[in-house]
Amino acid sequence: MPGKQPNLFAFSDTSGLAAALRNYIVTSQHAGLQRHEVFKVAVSGGSLPQTLAQALLAEPKSEEDVIKFDKWEIFFADERAVPLDHEDSNYALIKKELLDKFPASIGQPIVHPIDVEHLNDTQELADQYEKKLVDSFAKGDSVRLPIFDLLLLGSGPDGHTCSLFPGHPLLRETDAWVAPIEDSPKPPPRRITLTLPVITHAVKIAFVATGEGKKEIMKEIFEEGNGLPCAMVNEAAGDRVSWFTDNAAVEGVQFPRRSFL
Ligand SMILES: O=C1O[C@H](COP(=O)(O)O)[C@@H](O)[C@H](O)[C@H]1O
């Protein structure tokens, strides 16, 4: 892997992982608030929200460690073209696992779900979501790409991330910020996703991958790359990428681990 390498952190259990992830998110939150008084983050669905909840719902250890949720703007790294209360909705998942569990007293984030008016037309669904990004990131100026403070992503057992799947033509998208997909190999087939240029332009990118089921693909991502979407993010964003894994997910993976300080 040429250039600066991604950071690979491996923990013996999910509680160690969650504590480190919280620390990383809080540092990223401080940086975002210093930059523009708001913390702009995009989240994935899948197995991530549960670990994320474990990280964020823990009691702060100090004033520095407080999650300033009322300063967060939350977008979706990808979303399925289903109603917001559907069992396949990433919004519903994040709501159930995280948003509903955060005490209202500490303030609520601004959350940007998809516009369900356009569920029948995934191109329009993606365009409308892109418009939300333009409104939030460009504010009337012309910007080439939005710059998220942090992306919180998962990796599928096939090496997909967001709704960017191995070998799919969407991996070559260079213009759109948000793109539709009608043939996702993982159900449901109709979705929208942030595109690679947006993902790799973020200030920080964190992947969370846990469990033995991810071991084979982690080996491929870190040792061969093979054009897998996760490997493409590693290659393009280098040390702006951090992987939070458990030992089971990276057993036998030939790539230097870093210790989380
Ligand atoms: O379909 C999706 O899958 C990925 C990975 O999910 P995981 O359960 O293997 O962690 C997820 O990151 C993405 O948001 C979701 O739509």
CA of 176 to the centre of ligand 1 (A): 21
Q: Which of 113-117, 142-146, 206-210 has the lowest mean pLDDT?
A: 142-146
From 119, 120, 45, 30, select the one nearest 76 (Cα to Cα).
Answer: 45
Out of 44, 97, 215, mutate this one to test ligand 1's pocket (max ligand atoms within 8 Å of CB): namely 44
Is the beta carbon of 44 within 6 A of some atom in ligand 1?
A: yes
Distances (CA, A) of 90 to 65, 80, 259: 27, 7, 31
Is the beta carbon of 154 within 6 A of some atom in ligand 1?
A: yes
pLDDT band at 1 (very low <50, low <70, confident <90, very high): low
190 in Cβ contact with 160 (< 8 Å): no
239 in Cβ contact with 186 (< 8 Å): no
pLDDT band at 261 (very low <50, low <70, confident <90, very high): confident
Q: 11-60: per-residue pLDDT in tens?
A: 999 999 999 999 999 999 999 999 999 999 999 999 999 999 999 999 99
59 in Cβ contact with 26 (< 8 Å): no
Instruction: Enumerate residues 6+ apart whose C-beta is below 8 A from 112.
Output: 73, 74, 75, 76, 129, 132, 136
Q: 53-104: per-residue pLDDT in tens?
A: 999 999 999 999 999 999 999 999 999 999 999 999 999 999 999 999 988 8
143 in Cβ contact with 197 (< 8 Å): no
How many Cβ atoms sit within 10 Å of the Cβ of residue 168? 17
Nearest CA to ligand 1 atom 7: 46
H/E segment holding residue 107: none
CA of 141 to the centre of ligand 1 (A): 33
CA of 84 to the centre of ligand 1 (A): 17
Ligand 1 atom closest to 154 (CA): 12
Is the beta carbon of 233 within 6 A of some atom in ligand 1?
A: no
CA of 49 to the centre of ligand 1 (A): 10
How large is the average pLDDT for residues 200-224? Answer: 98
